[in-house]
Amino acid sequence: MAKKNPKIHEVVKYPDPVLAKRGEAVTVFDADLKKLVDEMFDSMYAAQGIGLAAPQINISKRLTVIDISFQKNPEEKIVLINPEIIDRSGKQVEEEGCLSLPEIREKVTRSEWVKVKAQDVTGKWIEVEGEELLARAIQHEIDHLDGILFIDHLSRLKRDLVLRKIKKLQKNGEW
């Protein structure tokens, strides 16, 4: 059954203050939460992303959705509520982007593999493991829940260059 007119949330852009705040724990697991999760997937797909954290749609909660298959494999849709990385190993350096920092892409060092403890939409505790792209997406999204952006992982020089580029885009009304 197709959903009618899903609510698409606008993705907030840097430097919106909500992006720099640690999200609050989700404590109520009800129909509203399930609806929000569906809306987050729809919003993420509409924005052409593979991950979306609640703070990116101006909701300061510890909730993120990830689908590295980008709608190709429904089994790969992941919902992480109140997630916490409990194990990690290896190292990968790959280019990352972010829906809250459109047009900005930089190489970021992340763990190659992660294991996360989180809750699902019913509140049940689950463990999720990911490697390579999925590991990077999980780390990127959990960073959002902690008020950290991928540019915070860059060297000071690189970050300054990115911030200068953003200021120029803002000045030209393109941000």
Which among 39, 96, 106, 141 is annotated as catalytic? 141
CB 98 within 8 A of CB 111: no
Q: Is 153 annotated as a binding residue?
A: no
Q: Is 98 annotated as a binding residue?
A: yes
- Closest by CA to 96, choosing from 41, 36, 16, 153, is 153
- Closest by CA to 56, choosing from 103, 105, 23, is 23
Strands 63-66 and 51-53: antiparallel
Q: How many helices (H) and strands (E) does the chain have?
A: 3, 7
Q: Is 144 annotated as a binding residue?
A: yes
* 141 counts as catalytic: yes
Q: What are the residues facing 96 on neighbouring strands? A: 106
Active-site positions read 141
Binding positions for Fe cation are 98, 140, 144
- Binding residues, by number, are 98, 140, 144
